[in-house]
Homo-oligomer: A and B are copies of this chain.
Amino acid sequence: VQLRVLGSAAGGGFPQWNCGCANCAGVRAGTLRARARSQESVAVSADGEHWFLLNASPEIRAQLESFAPLWPREKRHSPVAGIVLTNGDLDHTLGLLSLRESYPIEVYATAGVRRGFTQGNALYATLERFPEQVRWHALELGREQSLGDRLRVTPLPVPGKLALHLERTSTPSPEDNIGLRIRDLASGKVLAYLPAVAGPSREVTAAVEGADCVFFDGTFWSSDELIASGLGTKRAEDMAHWPVGGADGSLSWLAKLPARRILIHVNNTNPLLREDGPEHAAATAAGVEVAHDGLELRL
């Protein structure tokens, strides 16, 4: 499996348009040892020819252009063989509406995430201009399914929540937020991809078991990160993210895994973004990396 991180930030990106926090102001001014990041999306391929995107960020156009293997090879073409959605958050789905240039796309999602994006969404008509403009592939929890010829994906329910814009109108379900296990048939290598995890669970443990590489929710370092910085009133847990730091944080759990471990979906407020900071050093000491746009790996 070849993998390229197209975007590594949480919703809003880093820096965020309306944020002048120390991180955002510092990265804009160039005074911080930190890298700007677009919103989370990863491209995965078994053969280097056919690529699957994990999530469709609002910044998908620039992200596709940032990586030459994703450029079209004919007059009308895309190496994007499919898009897998891990939940219905706008930072994971809005990019679909930027793929509206009359070209068929294949989207893999649970029935719940599909409904959340397509029902009552007048904008979606732009992706219904001809039959099968979008071919939806239903992800069924716990069932391994084909992702092209050479990859298999198993979606697992992980603690999370409904997309913000659906909270008032939809009923929560285990289909709302999933982790992915992606297996390469040729090499047997397994990638676990869990960009949003509200906390530990049996399924989370199962999702990473025996994986060669784990991408994991790195949204917040601490529960009160937004509150302490005067930027919000919600705790990490209110937003369904397991904080990385602290005695019960995901880092102490990730530290014990034998896989290559990479934090992704990093919020602009997260002190992990400072490459010379103590939080970054703690992650490194635990053997855990922080994803950045452009990171490539091969399993």
Binary CB contact string for chain A from 156 to 175 against chain B (1 if under 8 A, 0 otherwise): 00000000111011000000
Contact with A125, one of B25, B64, B168 (Cβ below 8 angstroms) = B168
Contact with A17, one of B75, B97, B99, B120 (Cβ below 8 angstroms) = B99
Known A21-B75, A73-B20: A13·B61 in contact at CB below 8 Å: yes
Q: Do A72 and B19 touch (CB < 8 A)?
A: yes
With A and B bound together, what is the CA distance between A271 and B68 in angstroms? Answer: 24
Q: Do B119 and A17 touch (CB < 8 A)?
A: no
Q: Which residue of B lies closest to A163 (CB)?
A: B126
Q: Do B20 and A75 touch (CB < 8 A)?
A: yes
Q: Do B164 and A232 touch (CB < 8 A)?
A: no
Q: Which residue of B lies closest to A78 (CB)?
A: B18
Q: Which residue of B lies closest to A98 (CB)?
A: B58
A230 at the interface (CB under 8 A from B): yes
A123 at the interface (CB under 8 A from B): yes
A76 at the interface (CB under 8 A from B): yes
Contact with A16, one of B20, B24, B101, B165 (Cβ below 8 angstroms) = B101
Q: Do A165 and B60 touch (CB < 8 A)?
A: no
Neighbouring B residues of A13 by C-beta, 8 Å? 61
Q: Do B78 and A17 touch (CB < 8 A)?
A: yes
Known A18-B103, A90-B97, A100-B90: A164·B62 in contact at CB below 8 Å: no
Q: Which residue of B lies closest to A64 (CB)?
A: B17
Interface residues of A (CB under 8 A from B): 11-13, 15-21, 24-25, 28, 36, 38-39, 58-62, 64-65, 68, 71-78, 90, 94, 97-103, 116, 119-126, 129, 164-166, 168-169, 229-232
18 sampled A-B residue pairs with Cβ under 8 A: A11-B101, A15-B71, A17-B61, A19-B101, A20-B71, A20-B72, A20-B74, A28-B68, A38-B61, A39-B61, A59-B62, A75-B230, A94-B94, A116-B122, A120-B120, A121-B122, A122-B166, A126-B165
